[in-house]
Amino acid sequence: MSGPVLESVLTCTHCGHVKRESMPTDACQYFYECESCQCVLRPKPGDCCVFCSFGSVNCPPVQAQKSCRG
């Protein structure tokens, strides 16, 4: 049984900048500031965190089939 993926590649919706980020296993990241254009990304409606909306993989709690929001 493999553990959750802890790295996600986030893509900025404003400038298209791509950055690999590590994800916390016990919390969701709701805001993400693009290092290229300094815009702040927020999750799409229905998504719990920026990784679920813009990342290449979902956040660890979702990978474990639990809701981030409890």
Q: What is the CA radius of gyration of the chain?
A: 12
Distance CA 62, CA 45 (A): 15
Interface with Zn ion, residue 17, by CB under 5 A: yes
For the bound state, the minimum distance from the C-beta of residue 54 to Zn ion, rounded and expressed in Å, comes to: 10
Helices and strands: H and E segment counts in the chain: 2, 4
Interface with Zn ion, residue 12, by CB under 5 A: yes
Alpha helices in 1-70, H assignment, sequence order = 50-54, 60-63
Nearer of residues 34 and 62 to Zn ion, judged by Cβ: 34
* Residue window 40-69: x/- pattern of binding to Zn ion, with contact defined by CB under 5 A: ------------------------------
Summarize as ranges the residues that interact with Zn ion (CB under 5 A).
Answer: 12, 14-15, 17, 34, 36-37
